[in-house]
Amino acid sequence: MKVNYVLSNYRYSEDIDTEDFMLVGNNKTFFNSLKGGSKYNGFFVPFKTEMLKIFDSLTFLNLNNLESIDHYGYKLVKKFSNNQIEYFIPDNFNSIIIKSTTNFEINFDIKQIFDQYEFGRIYDVKIINGKTIIHFKKLDENNSLQYSCFVVINSEIIKNEKWMKKEFLFDKKRSSPPYSRYVFSPGTFNQGNIVISYASTGKKAIEENVYIEKNQESLLEKAKSNFEKIQKFPKKSKKINTAYNFSRFYLNQISTDSGVLAGLPWFFRPWTRDELISLPAVIKLKGAEYGKKRLMAFSSSLNYDGLLPNITGTTGGAKDSIGLFFRFAYLMLTKHKKLFSDKEMAILKKKLELSSYCIMKYYSENHMLISNNQETWMDSLSRSGKRIEIQSLMLIILETMKFISKDTIYISFQNQLRRQIKKDFFNNGFLYDDPVEKEIRPNVFLAYYYDNSFLKSNDWKKVFLNSTKKLWAKWGGLATLDTQSQKFRPNHSGEVADSYHNGDSWFFVNLIAATTMNRLDNKFFKKYIEKILNASTSVCLSQGTLGCLPEVSSFNELKSQGSPLQAWSLATYIELVEELK
């Protein structure tokens, strides 16, 4: 079977073994379809600080063989030997359009995304003026009303209400219970252009449904135009250009007014470190003004302890997040300073000074930044103490403070820290993850990426070579731990985190590694760079959720695993493609 990726300049076709796809609106709405079934399948809309699932799946009543898929980014068309189905989510609405040449059922499962309680679900289905109106009520364990909402469909249903058990085989493979759930099917809808709209009140749901039905062609044209505006073709390879443009599309869609969503379906909030790594690529799509807004939002989110919360709107902090905040501040202040008013500059400077004061007084030792348990991106591990990429970020913190304060004392601090990093972490061509256990992990590539001034180029080349020997996956990636370690896990363990940071290969790390290899010596590391690029491109176009880059792969075999769509995977792919000559 083939998927045809449709861009403004051409169509690119790939042979695929997967039907998984995801459509994403620009206001956090998304439709997810994973083979085998999942509690994370279906149509989701924003609901307070959560996501609300509207329906689980669609059951089409007369389909033969699936022959091809046309993927436009903003819409997707499945072509069967006897019928055709088109899916489209218009931007800025809580609606989805299904164009089907055959009748189908909608399997409803209205719930907050992580709510697994099966009781207290009441669906009231009525037909009014040619529309199907569903009033849903959710009751808690005491039969008290938690919330209610309305779903409106622009077609009369042929009623045949039933509850059906849905199996979640995708979740079972991930060890992510529960593995089944009952969903509600109110009946059958006839073929045609079906608009499904959600709102908190019936009046709002009807109004949106009527508007979408009347304006669906213009909304489709607008979505097409918006995608075409951000398309670029930097490479000779159509395959790479296709993955690059779909990465740009999805990253643009998940970059919302409230921040860059870390990943879908389950990382639907902005995670601080993920967003700050992604923002340099995002501002090339949405403009530097977006970057300024996000930087000021982060500065206002700083905790009293000088750290940033791991997830926007929560408490707690991480040492890499605050270092990445300084890194992004330095980027914005050195390249886009004119965007900031004097008042904004004063606010930002005050926040940076307060944070750096806390860092140097409470969290550093001989200018080294010390992490507590689970304060780095490898958050399934403790990784307390001194960690290599955190020290590179400390150098960035000092560089930023030198820039905004003009105080030369920071030069002395930087030089002391460079000497200390080399003394504690570097030995016999290896750059260790920490000075105590001396583990080999791919964080050395992050360290180079953030600030590589503590080693000379020849030493870095030795580090990269020695690290790849210990970490390299033959398909084109890096393990998160030395493959000879007793803790190493070669296969992805799903929601059980055994392999997560002790074996799994993370696409954002792989892509950053390729970028750093390119910067260090692109000829010498050419085979590694090409392998990483090709593996990531393959996963994007033919092995996972179509057109998306996932979170991780098993070390043993290239697969799309973890979150099917991950922001920093998309962002670092874009960055690598743009840097390669």
Q: How confident is the model at residue 317 (pLDDT cuts 50, 70, 90)?
A: confident
Q: If DSSP codes are grouped into helix, strand and coil, which group holds residue 329?
A: helix
Whether residues 217 and 363 share a domain: the answer is: no
Task: Pick the last residue of a domain from 195, 229, 263.
Answer: 229
Pair (200, 309) in one structural domain = no
Final residue of a domain: which of 197, 229, 261? Answer: 229
Q: Does 252 share its domain with 354?
A: yes
Residues 370 and 4: their CA atoms lie apart, in Å, by 49
Residues 85 and 123 in one domain: yes
* Model pLDDT, residue 418: 98
CATH number of the structural domain spanning residue 159:
2.70.98
- pLDDT (average), residues 328-349: 97
Confidence band, pLDDT 50/70/90 cuts, at residue 396: very high
- Rounded Cα gap, residues 527 and 374, in angstroms: 34
Q: Which pLDDT tens digit goes with each residue over 437-462?
A: 999 999 999 999 999 999 999 999 99
Two structure tokens written together for 468 = 């790849």
Report, as an integer, the average pLDDT of 158-177.
97
Do 395 and 309 sit in the same domain of this protein? yes
Domain that holds residue 308: 238-579
Do 361 and 506 share a domain, yes or no?
A: yes
Looking at the structure, do residues 308 and 431 belong to the same domain, yes or no? yes
Going by their DSSP bridges, the two strands 66-71 and 2-6 should be labelled as parallel
**What CATH number has the domain bearing residue 371?**
1.50.10.10
Residues 224, 245 within the same domain = no
Strands (E), 72-200: 75-80, 84-88, 95-100, 104-112, 121-128, 131-139, 145-153, 158-167, 180-189, 192-199
Q: What is the mean pLDDT of residues 8-15?
A: 96
Neighbours of 390 (CB within 10 A): 28
Q: 210 with 341, same domain?
A: no
Domains of the chain: total: 2
pLDDT of residue 3: 98
298 and 280 share one domain: yes
Decide which of 209, 229, 249 is a domain's last residue: 229
| 177 and 57 part of one domain | yes
| 341 & 272 share domain | yes
CA distances from 319 to 309, 359, 364, 393, 409 (A): 10, 9, 11, 9, 23
Give the mean pLDDT of 303-332.
92
